[in-house]
Structures are given as structure tokens and as C-alpha cells.
Structure 1
Amino acid sequence: MTTTTTPQVASRWSRFRSSYLLYSFKRDLVAQLSLVVFIALVAVAVLAPWLAPMNPYDLAQIDIMSSELPPFWIEGSDPAYPVGTDAQGRDMLSTILYGARVSLIIGFGAVALQAILGVSFGLLAGYLGGRVDAFLMRLADIQLSFSTLMVAIVVGALVKAIFGGATFSAYAVPLLVLIIGLAEWPQYARTVRASVLAERHKEYVDAARVMGFTSRRIMFRHILPNTLSPIFVISTVQVANAIIAEAALSFLGLGMPETQPSLGSLIKSGFDYLQSGSWWITLIPGLVLVVLVLVINLLGDWLRDVLNPRLYKG
């Protein structure tokens, strides 16, 4: 077993080292910095329970008498709270770490749902064609005629009205994943459909049909691997869009509740205190959100350029 797998692994590693992907990454300082910042943000978010000075979900650790303390560089700060506290007396550093964790979970979860729905519908529409194609693409066109945020607001308001505010708050994360995922699947469907239309008449697909393979196997085992490049690019951008959508919904009161911090709910919770001078409650989570979305978009732009064969210089 070792003698057969080791050369394969070595061969794959050798191909990766000589690939244009790695070559381009080594020459792109912006992509390198973006990846480092993104990995750092993901790491501190994942390790929030161990890195955060306090647990913002634990009411016993919250001291209302310590509310609205400024960051360490402003007079009147407390060394125990390096970036200050919010109006509830929660440590801002802890809430940002936990909030970034929630935002990333929603972002990646929503994109996973979008990809599953969009890729499946795109494969069916492009490969089967006919009425299936017409129905799925008209459904996508109808949804795309509305803005993503509008669809998310309508669905979120309906879910909140049907199940009630308390139930929505208790299951806010999976519900937001569902809402944002359902609002964005057409992006994947249309892209995958276009790729399938270009692939389905090629010789390897005809050979698979002649060999008697099922349509399901041809779509998922043969055509889908040749459409992964645009899927990777879309996924990178969609993670940033999903995080922004969650922040927007939370700011409008249709997302995460203030008792369960996300970057969006943190921005909303401090918005009412801007005029009182406690600007850090909104500004610092807002800056973290901007940096997170920015590095994801920069990585997406780099990946789009690298995976675009028209830009390959050889």
C-alpha cells in the first residue's frame, strides 16, 4: 500500500509546486497578506472560547457597572478591558471574537447551502435541458429580479412572524443560514448551467453515455469536476456577501439577537450610543467586519484571475 500511494502523493505535490496557482500566489503580495489576515481572523474566531477574556454568553461574568468603558488608549479605560465594554458591560474583545465566530459560521454555512442547491439545479438545467431547464432558470430569473437583501428580509420577517421572536432567537444561526442560502442559490445555478452547456457535448461525455453510465454519474462524476473553477471563485465572493447579509439583517433586527453577538448585532447594539460618545461599541466591530470582507474579496479577485485561462501567460 505504501509503495503505491507515496509516489502518487509525491506526484501531486510536485504538480502543485510547479502549478501556476502557486506561482501566481508567490508573486502576489496582496493575496499573501489577505490570506494571512484571513487565516488569523478565522483562527482567533475558532479559538474564541480559549482566547476571549470572558464569555459574553455567561451573565454571571457581565458587570453592568462596567458598561461603556473606553478602549485602553482613551482616558478612563480599565486594563481588564483592552478595547472597552459595551452598554451591557460585556468585554468588547470577547464579544468581537465570539461575534466573528458566529458571522463566519453563518457565512460558510449559507454558502454551503447555496452551493448544494445551485450546483444541483445548474447541473439538472444544463444537462437535461428542455422543460427542466426552462422551469429552473425562470425560477432563478424571478428570484434574481429582487435584491438578495430584499428576499432575505421578506423570508426573515415571515419566519419571525410564524415562529415568533423567541423561537427565532433560539435558532437564529440555522435560520439565517437557511434564509441567506435560499436567497443566493441562483448565482451558482446560472454559472454551473453555462459551464454544463459547454461541456455536455464534448467527447468524454459522449463516451460516458456510450459506456452506459447513468445521467447522475455523468453529471456528478464527469461534468461537475470540470466546472469547479467558477464554483470556487463564486464561493469566495459569496462568503463575503453572506457575512454582509447577516450583518445587514442583524442591523435591521431580523438577524442575530443582541444576547448572541455577531458582528452585525454588535454594530447594531452600539449604534444608539454613538451620540453619547461610546463610538467604539459600533466602530470596532465595524472595522473588523470591513477587514474580514475586504480580505475575502481580495482573495476572490486573485483566485478569479488565476483560474481564468484567458489571463494565463504561460
Structure 2
Amino acid sequence: MRENAMSDTIVPGRWARFRDSYLLYSFKRDLVAQLSLVLFAMLIFAAVFAPWLAPANPYDLAQIDIMASELPPFWIDGADPQYLMGTDAQGRDLLSTILYGLRVSLIIGFGAVLMQAVIGVSFGLMAGYLGGRVDAFLMRLADIQLSFSTLMVAIIVGALVKAIFGGATFSEYAVPLLVLIIGLAEWPQYARTVRASVLAERSKEYVDAARVMGLKSRRIMFRHILPNTLSPIFVISTVQVANAIISEAALSFLGLGMPETHPSLGSLIKSGFDYIQSGSWWITLIPGAVLVILVLVINLLGDWLRDVLNPRLYKG
């Protein structure tokens, strides 16, 4: 009788568990999160399919007409219907450069956060689980890193790379170098967060049981403790993506980021900054508005995710 009852028990699938989860329930009731996700998905779609959506290729010199520079957007007198958002000082179609620039900014943002997570999570796991001198050394290293602002570290490393390898080399490998610079500047955020979670997890019974079974420390850290620390990692990752995109824009604006020939949102803002007083405000303000919307929706999604994954904030 008991065997029949057990055999008749239906284990819900992953989709059924997700459909009945508090995560989806909260998302359906949060209009701000829904709008943010829709806008973020649209921006991701535009960035991924930029080569097909963009009217022109900003990297193709044959499609650039210097005589068509600084044309206004379509709603202003004197506009050319061929250029919906106008053109920049080099005669490039601004809509196309924004789409390609959005792609570059997102690649740098997600790449830098991936690097931060790999370094920070590894250091945080070792510091929290092993403790002792390993913990002291890694946390002092993180404290030294945190004593400098992210932008300062990025400026120093970026300037050194340019001085050692030259401006031409930096421009050629700007994307991976910016991923490296921003990734190295922000890993302590992950390390401190993961360490705090590991300190709370390592004294629990499942960790003691794994030790008794003779499992190695590395297996215990990555196979047993790490899955229970993913919630804060997901939350901090959303914030860090926005911070990485802002850091790239700031570095590009200061001349230590993407060159104007390879547009990102930051380099587009910089390229049009000198033309604001001459009346060509759209070269800076339109990419700036896209950057603000991108960072805003990521932060709003991060705030919603933090509230959902933090059980202390659950109001029932």
C-alpha cells in the first residue's frame, strides 16, 4: 500500500516549481520590474542584432560621408530622413553608432563582471572556508584594493597600459583591456560578500557531513557551499554590471577607454561633448540618454532581485 502511494507521488518539474515560485509571483505584481525587464530585453536585442538593425556600418569608411556631418535628428528642421537620429562630427549615422556602441558597452560590462566574479568568488570561498592566514592575507588584499576608488584604479592601470604598449596597441585591444582593468578594480566586492556567506554556511551540518565523508576542501567549497551563496552573488552582479558600464563610459570620456573609431556609449558622449555649444547637442545627449536608461533599468532589476531573494524583506 505504501509502495503504491509512493509510486503515485508526482514530483513537480522545474517549470512547475518556477511557475509556483515566489520569484515569479513577485515579478507579476511589480510593474516597475516588468517594465525594466522589457526595456533591458529590448536593449539587449538591439545590441545583439546591431549589424542587422543598424542602417549603416560605422566601421566601414565607405559608408561615412564627411559632408553629412552634424546633421540634426529627424524632428528638427534641416534633418535628412536618411539619418533618423542625425549624424556625428565624422558624418556617421548616429543611430548606427549607438547600436554598435551599446553592443561594446554591454560586452565590456558583462565581461568585466564575469572576471570580477571568478576572482572574487574564488578568493571569498578560500578566505571564508580556510580562515587563518589565508583569510587574513586575502582580506587585507581586498582592503587595500577598496581603499582606492574604482575609477582611480582603472585610470592608473589604463594609463600604465597605454604608456607600456602604446596608444595604437591599446586601441586595437581596447575591449579586452577594459574588461581586464575594470575586472581587476572591482573583485573585492564579490570576495567580501561571498566570504560573509561562507562564514555562515561552513558551520552547518551538511558541511560537517561532507568533511566526515572525506570530501576534499575544494569539492566542499565549490559543490556544496557555493550553491548556497548564489543569491547574494546574483544580486551584486546586477549592480556590478551597471557599475562596469559606467566605469567604461567614464574612462572613454577621459580618453582612457574606447577610441572614437570604435564607438561605445562613453566614447560617443566624449566625441560630441565639444560640439554642444555649437548647437550639435544630439551627438552627446542621445547616447547619454541611452546610457542613463540602460544603467537605470539594470539597477531597478537589481533592487527588485535583492528584495525578492532577501527573506528578511518578505512581507507575506
**What is the TM-score normalised by the length of structure 2?**
0.96
Counterpart pick for 1:267 among 266, 269, 278: 269
Letter in 2 for 1:107: G
Residues 9 and 80 of structure 1: is their aligned pair in 2 closer, same or farther, counting only changes over 3 Å?
Answer: farther
Cross-structure match for 2:16:
14
1:71-127: per-residue Cα shift (whole Å, max 9, x none)?
Answer: 001000000000100000000000000000000000000000000000000000000
d(CA) in 2 for partners of 1:94 and 1:11? Answer: 43
Cross-structure match for 2:244:
242
Q: CA deviation at 1:313?
A: 2.9
Counterpart pick for 1:97 among 96, 99, 104: 99
Aligned length in residues: 308
Of 11-20 and 226-235, more deviation after overlay is shown by: 11-20
Letter in 1 for 2:110: F
Letter in 2 for 1:85: T
1:128-186: per-residue Cα shift (whole Å, max 9, x none)?
Answer: 00110000000000110111100110011111111100000000000000000000000
The alignment status of 1:148 with 2:158, answered yes or no, reads no
d(CA) in 2 for partners of 1:50 and 1:293? Answer: 24
Cross-structure match for 1:193:
195
d(CA) in 1 for partners of 2:280 and 2:10? Answer: 58
Q: CA deviation at 1:33?
A: 0.1
Counterpart pick for 1:284 among 278, 283, 286: 286
Q: CA deviation at 1:299?
A: 0.2
Letter in 2 for 1:136: L
Q: CA deviation at 1:8?
A: 9.5
1:37-73: per-residue Cα shift (whole Å, max 9, x none)?
Answer: 0000000111000000000000010000000000001
Unaligned segments of structure 1, at least 5 residues: 1-6
1:253-283: per-residue Cα shift (whole Å, max 9, x none)?
Answer: 0000000000000000000001110000000
3-state SS, counterpart of residue 162 of structure 1? helix
Cross-structure match for 1:222:
224
Letter in 1 for 2:136: A
Letter in 1 for 2:251: L
d(CA) in 2 for partners of 1:311 and 1:17? Answer: 21
**Following superposition of structure 1 onto structure 2, how do residues 126-141 of structure 1 map, counting pairs within 5 Å?**
126-141=128-143
Counterpart pick for 2:160 among 148, 152, 158: 158
Cross-structure match for 2:5:
none
Counterpart pick for 1:169 among 166, 171, 175: 171
**Following superposition of structure 1 onto structure 2, how do residues 3-42 of structure 1 map, counting pairs within 5 Å?**
11-42=13-44
Unaligned segments of structure 2, at least 5 residues: 1-8
Counterpart pick for 2:125 among 123, 126, 149: 123
Cross-structure match for 2:53:
51
Letter in 1 for 2:142: A
**Following superposition of structure 1 onto structure 2, how do residues 295-314 of structure 1 map, counting pairs within 5 Å?**
295-314=297-316
Letter in 1 for 2:105: S
d(CA) in 2 for partners of 1:214 and 1:179? Answer: 34
3-state SS, counterpart of residue 300 of structure 1? helix
Letter in 2 for 1:166: A
Seq. identity, %: 88
**Following superposition of structure 1 onto structure 2, how do residues 67-106 of structure 1 map, counting pairs within 5 Å?**
67-106=69-108
Letter in 1 for 2:84: P
Letter in 2 for 1:79: P
d(CA) in 1 for partners of 2:49 and 2:31? Answer: 27
Of 217-226 and 13-22, more deviation after overlay is shown by: 13-22
Indicate the RMSD between aligned Cα atoms, in angstroms: 1.1
Q: CA deviation at 1:10?
A: 5.3
d(CA) in 1 for partners of 2:303 and 2:10? Answer: 31
d(CA) in 1 for partners of 2:118 and 2:314? Answer: 29
Cross-structure match for 1:178:
180
**What is the TM-score normalised by the length of structure 1?**
0.97
